[in-house]
Amino acid sequence: MKPRVLTILGATGTIGVNTLDVVARHPGRFEIFALTGATQVERMVEQCRTHRPRFAVMSEPAAAAELRARIAEECLAVEVLEGAAALTEVATAPEIDTLMAAIVGAAGLPATLAAARAGKRILLANKETLVVSGQLFMDAIAASGAELLPIDSEHNAIFQALPRDFDGDFQQAGVKALWLTASGGPFRTLSAEAIAAATPAQAVAHPNWVMGKKISVDSASLMNKGLEVIEARWLFNARPEQIKVVVHPQSIVHSMVEYADGSVIAQMGTPDMRTPIAYALGFPERIDAGVSALQLMGRQLSFEAPDTARFPCLQLAFDALVAGGNAAAVLNAANEVAVARFLEGAASFNAIAASIAHTLGKLANGAAHTLDDLLEADRQARRVADAYLGQLRA
Protein backbone atom coordinates (compact mmCIF):
# COMPACT_ATOMS: atom_id res chain seq x y z
CA MET A 1 0.00 0.00 0.00
CA LYS A 2 1.32 3.40 -0.98
CA PRO A 3 2.04 5.49 2.14
CA ARG A 4 0.08 8.63 2.87
CA VAL A 5 2.32 11.70 2.65
CA LEU A 6 1.67 14.22 5.43
CA THR A 7 2.41 17.79 6.30
CA ILE A 8 1.74 18.62 9.95
CA LEU A 9 1.00 22.27 10.68
CA GLY A 10 1.66 22.80 14.38
CA ALA A 11 3.86 19.74 14.82
CA THR A 12 5.39 20.95 18.09
CA GLY A 13 2.01 21.40 19.80
CA THR A 14 -0.06 18.79 21.60
CA ILE A 15 -1.96 17.62 18.53
CA GLY A 16 1.20 17.51 16.43
CA VAL A 17 3.08 15.47 19.03
CA ASN A 18 0.18 13.02 19.33
CA THR A 19 -0.09 12.75 15.55
CA LEU A 20 3.57 11.80 15.28
CA ASP A 21 3.08 9.26 18.08
CA VAL A 22 0.33 7.55 16.06
CA VAL A 23 2.36 7.77 12.83
CA ALA A 24 5.34 6.11 14.53
CA ARG A 25 3.15 3.11 15.42
CA HIS A 26 2.58 2.38 11.73
CA PRO A 27 5.95 2.18 9.92
CA GLY A 28 5.59 2.35 6.17
CA ARG A 29 1.99 3.55 6.28
CA PHE A 30 2.78 7.27 6.55
CA GLU A 31 5.55 9.50 5.26
CA ILE A 32 6.28 12.93 6.77
CA PHE A 33 6.85 15.61 4.13
CA ALA A 34 6.96 18.70 6.36
CA LEU A 35 6.69 19.69 10.02
CA THR A 36 5.94 23.24 11.16
CA GLY A 37 6.22 25.10 14.43
CA ALA A 38 6.57 28.58 15.87
CA THR A 39 9.27 28.87 18.54
CA GLN A 40 9.95 25.41 20.04
CA VAL A 41 13.28 24.78 18.33
CA GLU A 42 14.45 21.97 20.60
CA ARG A 43 11.29 19.94 20.04
CA MET A 44 11.47 20.54 16.29
CA VAL A 45 15.07 19.32 16.20
CA GLU A 46 14.03 16.16 18.03
CA GLN A 47 11.13 15.61 15.60
CA CYS A 48 13.37 16.14 12.58
CA ARG A 49 15.88 13.70 13.99
CA THR A 50 13.19 11.04 14.52
CA HIS A 51 10.88 11.52 11.53
CA ARG A 52 13.23 12.94 8.86
CA PRO A 53 10.85 15.30 7.05
CA ARG A 54 11.92 16.94 3.82
CA PHE A 55 11.06 20.39 5.22
CA ALA A 56 10.80 22.04 8.63
CA VAL A 57 9.08 25.41 8.83
CA MET A 58 9.28 27.89 11.71
CA SER A 59 6.89 30.83 11.57
CA GLU A 60 9.26 32.98 13.65
CA PRO A 61 12.45 34.08 11.79
CA ALA A 62 14.67 33.94 14.89
CA ALA A 63 13.53 30.39 15.60
CA ALA A 64 14.12 29.44 11.96
CA ALA A 65 17.70 30.76 12.13
CA GLU A 66 18.36 28.78 15.29
CA LEU A 67 16.83 25.66 13.76
CA ARG A 68 18.99 25.97 10.62
CA ALA A 69 22.10 26.06 12.77
CA ARG A 70 21.01 23.01 14.75
CA ILE A 71 20.03 21.04 11.63
CA ALA A 72 23.41 21.81 10.03
CA GLU A 73 25.21 20.87 13.24
CA GLU A 74 23.54 17.46 13.23
CA CYS A 75 23.93 17.02 9.44
CA LEU A 76 20.24 16.27 8.98
CA ALA A 77 18.87 16.31 5.43
CA VAL A 78 16.07 18.73 6.28
CA GLU A 79 15.50 22.08 4.57
CA VAL A 80 14.41 24.84 6.94
CA LEU A 81 11.90 27.43 5.74
CA GLU A 82 10.27 30.35 7.56
CA GLY A 83 7.19 32.54 7.58
CA ALA A 84 3.53 32.36 6.58
CA ALA A 85 4.24 31.84 2.88
CA ALA A 86 6.27 28.73 3.70
CA LEU A 87 3.34 27.31 5.69
CA THR A 88 1.16 27.58 2.60
CA GLU A 89 3.92 26.11 0.43
CA VAL A 90 4.22 22.92 2.46
CA ALA A 91 0.44 22.67 2.95
CA THR A 92 -0.23 22.68 -0.79
CA ALA A 93 2.84 20.89 -2.15
CA PRO A 94 1.93 18.39 -4.90
CA GLU A 95 3.84 15.66 -3.07
CA ILE A 96 1.43 15.59 -0.10
CA ASP A 97 -2.06 14.12 0.03
CA THR A 98 -2.87 14.76 3.71
CA LEU A 99 -2.62 17.87 5.88
CA MET A 100 -2.90 17.84 9.66
CA ALA A 101 -4.02 21.41 10.43
CA ALA A 102 -3.15 21.88 14.10
CA ILE A 103 -1.86 25.45 14.40
CA VAL A 104 -3.67 27.16 17.27
CA GLY A 105 -5.58 30.34 16.41
CA ALA A 106 -6.26 32.29 13.23
CA ALA A 107 -2.60 31.98 12.17
CA GLY A 108 -3.32 28.60 10.61
CA LEU A 109 -6.20 29.83 8.45
CA PRO A 110 -4.48 30.93 5.21
CA ALA A 111 -2.45 27.73 4.77
CA THR A 112 -5.39 25.48 5.64
CA LEU A 113 -7.69 27.33 3.23
CA ALA A 114 -5.03 27.01 0.51
CA ALA A 115 -4.85 23.27 1.15
CA ALA A 116 -8.64 23.03 0.81
CA ARG A 117 -8.44 24.82 -2.53
CA ALA A 118 -5.68 22.41 -3.57
CA GLY A 119 -7.93 19.40 -2.93
CA LYS A 120 -5.99 17.83 -0.04
CA ARG A 121 -7.35 15.49 2.62
CA ILE A 122 -7.50 17.84 5.59
CA LEU A 123 -7.46 16.58 9.18
CA LEU A 124 -8.82 19.67 10.89
CA ALA A 125 -7.70 20.30 14.46
CA ASN A 126 -7.58 24.08 13.99
CA LYS A 127 -11.15 25.02 14.89
CA GLU A 128 -10.54 28.69 14.11
CA THR A 129 -10.43 27.84 10.40
CA LEU A 130 -14.16 27.10 10.40
CA VAL A 131 -15.02 29.63 13.09
CA VAL A 132 -13.47 32.50 11.13
CA SER A 133 -14.12 31.40 7.54
CA GLY A 134 -16.84 28.76 7.69
CA GLN A 135 -18.73 29.45 4.45
CA LEU A 136 -15.58 30.36 2.53
CA PHE A 137 -13.79 27.23 3.68
CA MET A 138 -16.66 24.84 3.01
CA ASP A 139 -17.15 26.37 -0.44
CA ALA A 140 -13.47 25.70 -1.15
CA ILE A 141 -13.83 22.07 0.00
CA ALA A 142 -16.85 21.58 -2.28
CA ALA A 143 -15.23 23.24 -5.28
CA SER A 144 -11.96 21.29 -5.13
CA GLY A 145 -13.27 17.92 -3.96
CA ALA A 146 -11.03 18.08 -0.89
CA GLU A 147 -11.80 15.70 1.97
CA LEU A 148 -12.42 17.12 5.43
CA LEU A 149 -12.07 14.99 8.58
CA PRO A 150 -12.56 16.58 12.02
CA ILE A 151 -9.99 16.02 14.77
CA ASP A 152 -11.64 17.75 17.73
CA SER A 153 -12.80 14.86 19.88
CA GLU A 154 -16.39 16.13 19.87
CA HIS A 155 -16.71 16.60 16.12
CA ASN A 156 -14.85 13.39 15.44
CA ALA A 157 -17.34 11.62 17.73
CA ILE A 158 -20.28 13.10 15.81
CA PHE A 159 -18.64 12.14 12.53
CA GLN A 160 -18.40 8.55 13.78
CA ALA A 161 -22.01 8.52 15.05
CA LEU A 162 -23.55 9.89 11.83
CA PRO A 163 -24.39 7.59 8.89
CA ARG A 164 -21.32 6.99 6.69
CA ASP A 165 -23.14 8.54 3.71
CA PHE A 166 -24.33 11.64 5.60
CA ASP A 167 -24.26 14.63 3.23
CA GLY A 168 -25.57 17.40 5.47
CA ASP A 169 -29.26 16.64 5.00
CA PHE A 170 -30.62 16.17 8.53
CA GLN A 171 -34.10 15.18 7.39
CA GLN A 172 -32.89 12.59 4.90
CA ALA A 173 -30.59 11.03 7.53
CA GLY A 174 -33.25 11.16 10.24
CA VAL A 175 -31.01 13.34 12.43
CA LYS A 176 -32.76 15.54 15.00
CA ALA A 177 -29.87 17.15 16.89
CA LEU A 178 -26.13 17.06 17.53
CA TRP A 179 -25.06 16.95 21.18
CA LEU A 180 -21.62 18.34 22.01
CA THR A 181 -20.33 17.24 25.39
CA ALA A 182 -18.28 19.59 27.56
CA SER A 183 -16.21 18.59 30.56
CA GLY A 184 -17.11 21.85 32.27
CA GLY A 185 -13.41 22.61 32.74
CA PRO A 186 -11.63 23.30 36.02
CA PHE A 187 -14.17 25.91 37.19
CA ARG A 188 -17.34 23.85 36.73
CA THR A 189 -18.23 23.77 40.43
CA LEU A 190 -16.82 27.16 41.43
CA SER A 191 -18.94 30.14 42.44
CA ALA A 192 -19.10 33.23 40.25
CA GLU A 193 -16.91 35.03 42.80
CA ALA A 194 -14.25 32.31 42.73
CA ILE A 195 -14.26 32.30 38.92
CA ALA A 196 -13.76 36.07 38.86
CA ALA A 197 -10.65 35.68 41.02
CA ALA A 198 -9.23 32.71 39.04
CA THR A 199 -5.55 32.66 38.14
CA PRO A 200 -3.92 31.45 34.93
CA ALA A 201 -2.44 28.48 36.79
CA GLN A 202 -5.93 27.41 37.87
CA ALA A 203 -7.37 27.91 34.39
CA VAL A 204 -4.83 25.71 32.59
CA ALA A 205 -5.21 22.82 35.07
CA HIS A 206 -7.78 20.87 33.05
CA PRO A 207 -9.19 17.90 34.99
CA ASN A 208 -9.31 15.43 32.06
CA TRP A 209 -7.34 16.52 28.99
CA VAL A 210 -3.70 17.44 28.36
CA MET A 211 -3.86 20.53 26.15
CA GLY A 212 -2.03 23.75 25.36
CA LYS A 213 -2.52 26.84 27.51
CA LYS A 214 -4.80 28.74 25.15
CA ILE A 215 -7.25 25.91 24.57
CA SER A 216 -7.18 25.09 28.30
CA VAL A 217 -8.29 28.63 29.15
CA ASP A 218 -10.99 28.35 26.46
CA SER A 219 -12.17 25.17 28.13
CA ALA A 220 -12.28 26.93 31.51
CA SER A 221 -14.45 29.73 30.05
CA LEU A 222 -16.53 27.34 27.87
CA MET A 223 -15.45 29.40 24.85
CA ASN A 224 -13.87 26.23 23.52
CA LYS A 225 -17.35 24.70 23.42
CA GLY A 226 -18.72 27.85 21.85
CA LEU A 227 -16.14 27.67 19.08
CA GLU A 228 -17.02 24.01 18.61
CA VAL A 229 -20.69 24.93 18.22
CA ILE A 230 -19.77 27.26 15.35
CA GLU A 231 -17.47 24.61 13.88
CA ALA A 232 -20.24 21.99 14.06
CA ARG A 233 -22.58 24.30 12.15
CA TRP A 234 -20.21 24.24 9.16
CA LEU A 235 -18.94 20.68 9.40
CA PHE A 236 -22.40 19.14 9.50
CA ASN A 237 -24.62 21.81 7.88
CA ALA A 238 -26.52 22.22 11.15
CA ARG A 239 -28.78 25.09 12.13
CA PRO A 240 -27.96 26.73 15.50
CA GLU A 241 -31.04 25.21 17.12
CA GLN A 242 -29.92 21.72 16.03
CA ILE A 243 -26.72 21.99 18.09
CA LYS A 244 -26.96 21.26 21.81
CA VAL A 245 -24.35 21.41 24.58
CA VAL A 246 -24.35 19.18 27.65
CA VAL A 247 -21.79 19.20 30.46
CA HIS A 248 -20.36 15.72 31.06
CA PRO A 249 -17.56 15.98 33.65
CA GLN A 250 -16.10 12.50 33.07
CA SER A 251 -15.25 13.14 29.36
CA ILE A 252 -16.10 9.53 28.49
CA VAL A 253 -18.95 10.30 26.08
CA HIS A 254 -17.28 12.52 23.51
CA SER A 255 -20.48 13.60 21.75
CA MET A 256 -23.81 12.21 20.54
CA VAL A 257 -26.22 12.27 17.61
CA GLU A 258 -29.95 12.29 18.37
CA TYR A 259 -32.17 10.69 15.75
CA ALA A 260 -35.82 11.24 14.86
CA ASP A 261 -36.81 7.79 16.13
CA GLY A 262 -35.60 8.57 19.65
CA SER A 263 -32.23 6.83 19.33
CA VAL A 264 -29.15 8.62 20.63
CA ILE A 265 -25.85 7.26 19.33
CA ALA A 266 -22.78 8.21 21.35
CA GLN A 267 -19.08 7.71 20.75
CA MET A 268 -17.22 6.83 23.94
CA GLY A 269 -13.61 6.27 24.84
CA THR A 270 -10.71 7.07 27.11
CA PRO A 271 -10.00 10.82 26.95
CA ASP A 272 -6.96 10.70 24.65
CA MET A 273 -6.57 12.78 21.49
CA ARG A 274 -4.79 9.92 19.76
CA THR A 275 -8.17 8.23 19.23
CA PRO A 276 -9.66 10.87 16.90
CA ILE A 277 -6.25 11.42 15.30
CA ALA A 278 -5.89 7.72 14.50
CA TYR A 279 -9.47 7.54 13.23
CA ALA A 280 -8.81 10.35 10.77
CA LEU A 281 -5.35 9.15 9.75
CA GLY A 282 -6.59 5.67 8.94
CA PHE A 283 -10.07 6.53 7.64
CA PRO A 284 -12.02 4.58 6.52
CA GLU A 285 -9.97 1.91 8.32
CA ARG A 286 -9.47 1.88 12.07
CA ILE A 287 -5.85 1.68 13.17
CA ASP A 288 -4.10 1.27 16.51
CA ALA A 289 -3.78 4.55 18.41
CA GLY A 290 -1.84 3.31 21.43
CA VAL A 291 -4.77 4.30 23.68
CA SER A 292 -5.66 2.30 26.78
CA ALA A 293 -9.01 0.50 26.78
CA LEU A 294 -11.99 2.26 28.31
CA GLN A 295 -12.80 0.90 31.75
CA LEU A 296 -16.51 1.30 32.52
CA MET A 297 -16.90 -0.98 35.52
CA GLY A 298 -17.41 1.08 38.65
CA ARG A 299 -17.67 4.34 36.67
CA GLN A 300 -20.57 6.75 36.90
CA LEU A 301 -21.49 9.06 34.03
CA SER A 302 -23.31 12.31 34.73
CA PHE A 303 -24.77 15.09 32.59
CA GLU A 304 -25.90 18.62 33.38
CA ALA A 305 -26.93 21.79 31.58
CA PRO A 306 -24.25 24.46 31.00
CA ASP A 307 -24.52 27.59 33.14
CA THR A 308 -24.27 30.55 30.77
CA ALA A 309 -24.56 33.02 33.66
CA ARG A 310 -21.23 31.89 35.13
CA PHE A 311 -19.82 31.07 31.69
CA PRO A 312 -21.14 33.76 29.31
CA CYS A 313 -18.66 32.93 26.54
CA LEU A 314 -20.79 29.99 25.42
CA GLN A 315 -23.82 32.24 24.84
CA LEU A 316 -21.64 34.83 23.08
CA ALA A 317 -20.59 32.13 20.62
CA PHE A 318 -24.20 31.13 19.93
CA ASP A 319 -25.05 34.81 19.45
CA ALA A 320 -22.20 35.25 16.97
CA LEU A 321 -23.31 32.16 15.06
CA VAL A 322 -26.85 33.49 14.74
CA ALA A 323 -25.59 36.97 13.76
CA GLY A 324 -23.53 35.56 10.88
CA GLY A 325 -21.32 37.73 8.67
CA ASN A 326 -18.03 38.59 10.33
CA ALA A 327 -19.31 38.05 13.89
CA ALA A 328 -17.57 34.71 14.45
CA ALA A 329 -14.26 36.11 13.17
CA VAL A 330 -14.62 39.06 15.56
CA LEU A 331 -15.51 36.73 18.44
CA ASN A 332 -12.50 34.53 17.80
CA ALA A 333 -9.98 37.38 17.51
CA ALA A 334 -11.26 39.16 20.60
CA ASN A 335 -11.05 35.92 22.54
CA GLU A 336 -7.47 35.24 21.42
CA VAL A 337 -6.39 38.71 22.59
CA ALA A 338 -8.20 38.43 25.93
CA VAL A 339 -6.87 34.95 26.66
CA ALA A 340 -3.32 36.07 25.90
CA ARG A 341 -3.69 39.03 28.28
CA PHE A 342 -5.15 36.79 30.96
CA LEU A 343 -2.27 34.33 30.65
CA GLU A 344 0.17 37.25 30.96
CA GLY A 345 -1.56 38.34 34.16
CA ALA A 346 -2.70 41.57 32.48
CA ALA A 347 -6.46 40.84 32.55
CA SER A 348 -8.88 39.10 34.88
CA PHE A 349 -10.71 35.93 33.88
CA ASN A 350 -14.03 37.78 33.65
CA ALA A 351 -12.46 40.37 31.36
CA ILE A 352 -12.32 37.69 28.63
CA ALA A 353 -16.09 37.60 28.17
CA ALA A 354 -16.47 41.33 28.78
CA SER A 355 -13.96 42.25 26.09
CA ILE A 356 -15.53 39.82 23.59
CA ALA A 357 -19.00 41.30 24.18
CA HIS A 358 -17.60 44.83 23.79
CA THR A 359 -15.78 43.97 20.57
CA LEU A 360 -18.80 42.22 19.06
CA GLY A 361 -20.89 45.29 19.86
CA LYS A 362 -18.41 47.50 18.00
CA LEU A 363 -17.61 45.39 14.94
CA ALA A 364 -20.18 42.67 14.22
CA ASN A 365 -22.29 42.89 11.04
CA GLY A 366 -19.31 43.61 8.79
CA ALA A 367 -18.51 41.97 5.43
CA ALA A 368 -17.34 38.36 5.29
CA HIS A 369 -17.24 37.58 1.57
CA THR A 370 -13.51 37.08 1.07
CA LEU A 371 -10.47 36.00 3.06
CA ASP A 372 -9.33 39.63 3.08
CA ASP A 373 -12.66 40.67 4.64
CA LEU A 374 -12.21 38.09 7.38
CA LEU A 375 -8.57 38.92 8.05
CA GLU A 376 -9.48 42.60 8.26
CA ALA A 377 -12.23 41.75 10.77
CA ASP A 378 -9.64 39.79 12.71
CA ARG A 379 -7.20 42.75 12.72
CA GLN A 380 -9.84 45.27 13.78
CA ALA A 381 -11.18 43.00 16.51
CA ARG A 382 -7.70 42.56 17.96
CA ARG A 383 -7.23 46.32 18.03
CA VAL A 384 -10.60 47.00 19.69
CA ALA A 385 -10.21 44.19 22.25
CA ASP A 386 -6.69 45.29 23.12
CA ALA A 387 -7.79 48.88 23.63
CA TYR A 388 -10.71 47.80 25.81
CA LEU A 389 -8.52 45.61 27.99
CA GLY A 390 -6.01 48.44 28.29
CA GLN A 391 -8.76 50.73 29.62
CA LEU A 392 -9.73 48.12 32.21
CA ARG A 393 -6.15 48.11 33.52
CA ALA A 394 -5.86 51.91 33.59
Which residue ranges form the domains of the chain, and what is each CATH number? 4-150 (3.40.50.720), 153-305 (no CATH), 324-394 (1.10.1740.10)
pLDDT in tens, 177-220: 999 999 999 999 999 999 999 999 999 887 766 677 888 999 99
Ranges in the chain, pLDDT < 70: 208-210, 394
Cβ neighbours for 64, distance < 8 A, ≥ 6 positions apart: 57, 58, 80, 81, 82, 83
Taking Cα atoms as reference points, which of 336, 378, 377, 386 lies closest to residue 358?
386
Cα pseudo-dihedral 384, 353, 376, 90, rounded to 10: 130
In angstroms, the CA 258 to CA 241 distance is 13
The pTM for the full model equals 0.92
Report the pLDDT value the prediction gives residue 9, as an integer from 0 to 100: 97
End-to-end distance of the chain based on CA atoms, in angstroms?
Answer: 62
Are 177 and 162 contacting, i.e. CB atoms less than 8 angstroms apart? no
- Which DSSP category does 99 fall into? E
Cβ neighbours for 192, distance < 8 A, ≥ 6 positions apart: 309, 310
pLDDT in tens, 133-173: 899 999 999 999 999 999 999 999 999 999 999 999 999 99
